[in-house]
Amino acid sequence: MSSSALKTFPGGLHPPDSKQATAGKPIELSPLPVELILPLSQHIGAPAEACVEVGEFVLKGQMIGRAKGFVSVPIHASTSGEVIAVEPRIHPSGRLLPSIVIKPDGEESWCELFPADPEKLTAAELIERILQAGIVGMGGATFPTHVKLSPPDDKPIDTLILNGVECEPFLTADHRLMLEAPKQILAGINILRKILQVEKTWIGIEANKPDAIALLQELCAGTGIEVVPLAVKYPQGAEKQLILALTGREVPSGSLPMEVGVVVQNVATAAAIATAVIEGKPLVDRVGTISGPLIKKPKNLRFHCGTPLQHLVDLCGGIEHPPAKILAGGPMMGQTQLTLEAPATRGTSGLLLFAKEDLPLRPQTPCIRCGRCVQVCPAGLLPTTIAAYVRLDLIEAAEQTSAMDCIECGCCSYSCPAAIPLVQSLRQAKGMILEKRRGA
340 binds other proteins (CB under 8 A): yes
Q: Binding mask 107-136 vs other proteins (x if CB under 8 A, - otherwise)?
A: ------------------------------
**354 contact choice in other proteins, ligand SF4, none (CB below 5 to 8 Å, kind-dependent):** other proteins
20 binds other proteins (CB under 8 A): no
405 binds other proteins (CB under 8 A): yes
CA distances from 435 to 71, 143, 149, 421 (A): 21, 21, 29, 21
413 binds other proteins (CB under 8 A): yes
400 binds other proteins (CB under 8 A): yes
3-state secondary structure of 206: strand
Residue 404's CB: how many other CB atoms inside 10 A? Answer: 17
**How far out from the chain centre does Cα 62 lie?**
24
Instruction: Give 29 or 359: the residue with its C-beta nearer to other proteins.
Output: 359
429 binds ligand SF4 (CB under 6 A): no
What is the sign, positive or negative, of the torsion defined by CA atoms of 37, 43, 45, 50?
negative
Task: Give residues 155-194 in contact with other proteins (rule: CB under 8 A).
Answer: 169
**How far out from the chain centre does Cα 254 lie?**
21
Under a CB-based contact definition with an 8 Å cutoff, are residues 355 and 321 in contact? yes
Tell me the one-letter amino acid at 306.
G
**362 contact choice in ligand SF4, other proteins, none (CB below 5 to 8 Å, kind-dependent):** other proteins
Instruction: Give 217 or 402: the residue with its C-beta nearer to other proteins.
Output: 402
User: Which position among 223, 371, 393, 400 is part of the footprint of ligand SF4 (CB under 6 A)?
Assistant: 371
**How far out from the chain centre does Cα 89 lie?**
22
Helices 182-196 & 123-132, crossing angle to 10 degrees? 130
> What whole-number distance in Å separates Cα of residue 428 and Cα of residue 436?
12
3-state secondary structure of 181: coil
> What whole-number distance in Å separates Cα of residue 268 and Cα of residue 140?
11
**420 contact choice in ligand SF4, other proteins, none (CB below 5 to 8 Å, kind-dependent):** ligand SF4
Q: Give the ranges where 58-162 is alpha helix by DSSP (H).
A: 123-132, 145-148
**359 contact choice in other proteins, ligand SF4, none (CB below 5 to 8 Å, kind-dependent):** other proteins
Q: How far is the CB of 325 from ligand SF4 (least distance, A)?
A: 19
User: Which position among 372, 395, 429, 430 is part of the footprint of ligand SF4 (CB under 6 A)?
Assistant: 372
Start-to-end Cα distance in the chain: 52
3-state secondary structure of 50: strand
Under a CB-based contact definition with an 8 Å cutoff, are residues 262 and 161 in contact? yes
> What whole-number distance in Å separates Cα of residue 390 and Cα of residue 385?
9
Task: Give residues 73-112 in contact with other proteins (rule: CB under 8 A).
Answer: 94
Contacts of 422 (CB under 8 A, 6+ apart): 373, 383, 384, 386, 387, 412, 413, 416
Q: How far is the CB of 378 from other proteins (least distance, A)?
A: 7
Q: Which stretch binds ligand SF4 (CB under 6 A): 114-122, 143-151, 255-263, 420-428?
A: 420-428
Under a CB-based contact definition with an 8 Å cutoff, are residues 425 and 391 in contact? yes
User: Which position among 418, 421, 432, 433 is part of the footprint of ligand SF4 (CB under 6 A)?
Assistant: 418
Q: Which stretch binds ligand SF4 (CB under 6 A): 194-202, 271-279, 324-332, 408-416?
A: 408-416
User: Which position among 36, 287, 406, 429 is part of the footprint of ligand SF4 (CB under 6 A)?
Assistant: 406
**Which residues of this chain interact with other proteins, rule CB under 8 A?**
13, 15, 94, 169, 240, 250-255, 321-327, 331-340, 352, 354, 356, 359-362, 365-372, 374-375, 377-382, 384-385, 400-402, 405, 408, 410, 413-419, 421, 423-424, 427
Q: Which residues bind ligand SF4 (CB under 6 A)?
A: 367-373, 376-379, 381, 383-384, 406-412, 415-418, 420, 422-423, 426
